Chains A and B, each alone.
Chain A
Amino acid sequence: METQMQTAHLTDEQLTDLLMGENPPAVREHLDACAACAQEAERFSGAIGAFQQETRLWAERRAASLPRLTADREAAFAWWHRPQAWMAAALAIALAAGVGFSIHNSHERGVQQQVIAKVAVPPVVTAETLKADNELLAAIDGELRADSSTPASEYGLNGTLRRGRSRSAARSTNE
């Protein structure tokens, strides 16, 4: 096994185990003897170390620019994690929507009933009313016939009209 380790490079599994922190004596010996494997392990570790440092700096800067969580803020967000609060909110919304829908419906129903009432209810006219109305109309008609005054007579124009009429009558008799 040791001979094989000296001649061949580390397998993927051995390298991975090494990078994961496992460092058995056989692998350690191989690394001492094989520059390629030692360089490979060093290259990977160096890249991971660089990534670790760069991302740590990035995260620290980013986190520092964000608003901090405080007890007040936690209280403000506490309802977010309470299922009862969500249920209550959902119930309130459902109730509000239900009440609104009900009001809307009842309003529409009322309007429809009014329209139906206007169309459906006929005017109440009895025979007596009809008779009284006819008598009133007949009386008005009679009074109008009896009154000889005309709109022209109210302005004193009756004489002129009569004179005009007599002149034309005389002209027609002369002809």
Chain B
Amino acid sequence: MQLILNPAIIGCVPDEAPLTELDDIEALDRIYRSRLLRFVAYSTGDQDLAETIVQDCLLKAYNGRASFRGDCSVYTWLAHIATNLMRDHQRTRKFQFWRMVQKTAPDLSEMGFLLPSRESSVETQMMARERAQQVSAALEDLSANQRTIFLMRFIEEMDLQEICQATGMQTSTVKTHLHRAVKAVRQKLGGQI
């Protein structure tokens, strides 16, 4: 006598993709919103616009989750969507003057808090913030591509392959942008060499 297991009875449904955070809009929002917000806010230099783009990005990802093939991480896929949304916005030249007027750049100095830390003194924290503001100022002088790639590499800690997947650029192009960006930021930070 041969026993045949019925998948429906044992609660196992083969050929069905496992549930990920993409299947839960609340989890998607909870896990990735702040990370995406930082990336988009410093890429565009406009925090209000960044909030809109991030919300749009999360909704697009959730609604189009069936098209996610899983050949990269969820964050890389989200960064790809966010990058396309930012490009779409940059192409829209309409109302650019008004955007310049109404632009609300993320301002590190307005955070107005020094978190109590046992590890570092207030003086150390002040110095850290000053260095962070120098980097923030240096980013403003970069081109849009250089800034986006620099943020992906050094802030989001994505490797070259992930950056290529997110931006749709060749490795050589990404490297060129990255070299130029690092050089410009180093000079702004008062590079000694």
Cross-chain contact of A69 among B55, B136, B185 (Cβ < 8 A): B55
- Chain A: residues with Cβ within 8 Å of the partner, total of 44
The answer to the question of A86 belonging to the interface, with a C-beta cut-off of 8 Å to chain B, is no
- Looking at the complex, which one of B42, B51, B179, B182 makes contact with A55 (CB distance below 8 Å)? B42
CB interface residues, B 128-179, toward A, < 8 Å? 128-129, 131-132, 134-136, 153-155, 159-160, 178-179
Assembly CA distance A39 to B186 (angstroms)? 12
Contact B193 A47 (CB under 8 A): no
Residue A143 at the chain B interface, CB threshold 8 Å: no
Interchain CB contact under 8 A, B192 and A39: yes
A44 to nearest B CB, angstroms?
6
Judge whether B26 and A68 touch: CB under 8 Å.
Answer: yes
Interchain nearest-CB distance for A24 vs B (Å) = 16
Contact of A169 with B by CB under 8 A: no
Asked if residues A55 and B134 are in contact (CB atoms below 8 Å), the reply is no
Within the complex, what minimum Cβ distance (angstroms) separates A155 from chain B?
87
Q: Which residues of A contact B134 (CB under 8 A)?
A: 47
Flag whether A66 is at the interface (Cβ < 8 A).
yes
Interface SS of B by simple majority: helix
Checking B55, B62, B131, B193 against A46 with a beta-carbon cut-off of 8 angstroms, the contacting residue is B131
- From A12, A19, A54, A66, B111 is in contact (CB under 8 Å) with A54
- In the complex the two chains form, is B51's CB within 8 Å of A59's CB? no
Using CB atoms, name the residue of chain B closest to A59: B38
The contact string, 1 if C-beta is below 8 Å from chain B, for chain A 64-107, is 10101111011001101100000000000000000000000000
In the complex, chain A residues 1-28 whose Cβ is within 8 Å of any chain B Cβ: 9-10, 12-13, 15-16, 19-21
With known contacts A50-B128, A55-B38, A69–B58 Cβ distance under 8 A? yes
Asked whether B47 is an interface residue with its Cβ less than 8 Å from the other chain, the reply is yes
Contacts of A81 in B (CB 8 A): 59-60, 63
On chain B, which size bracket covers the interface?
A: 35 or more
Q: Is the CB of A16 within 8 A of B111?
A: no
Q: 6 smallest A-B Cβ distances: which pairs?
A: A59-B38, A63-B34, A51-B135, A50-B128, A54-B132, A69-B29
Pull 20 A–B residue pairs with CB atoms less than 8 Å apart, ordered by A: A9-B193, A16-B178, A19-B182, A36-B193, A37-B193, A47-B131, A48-B154, A50-B131, A50-B132, A51-B132, A53-B132, A54-B108, A57-B113, A58-B106, A58-B108, A59-B38, A62-B47, A69-B33, A80-B59, A81-B59
Using CB atoms and an 8 Å cutoff, list the residues of chain A in contact with chain B.
9-10, 12-13, 15-16, 19-21, 36-37, 39-40, 43-44, 46-48, 50-64, 66, 68-71, 73-74, 77-78, 80-81
B-side residues, CB < 8 A to A, are 25-26, 28-30, 33-35, 37-38, 41-42, 47, 51, 55, 58-60, 62-63, 106, 108, 111, 113, 115, 128-129, 131-132, 134-136, 153-155, 159-160, 178-179, 182-183, 185-186, 189, 191-193
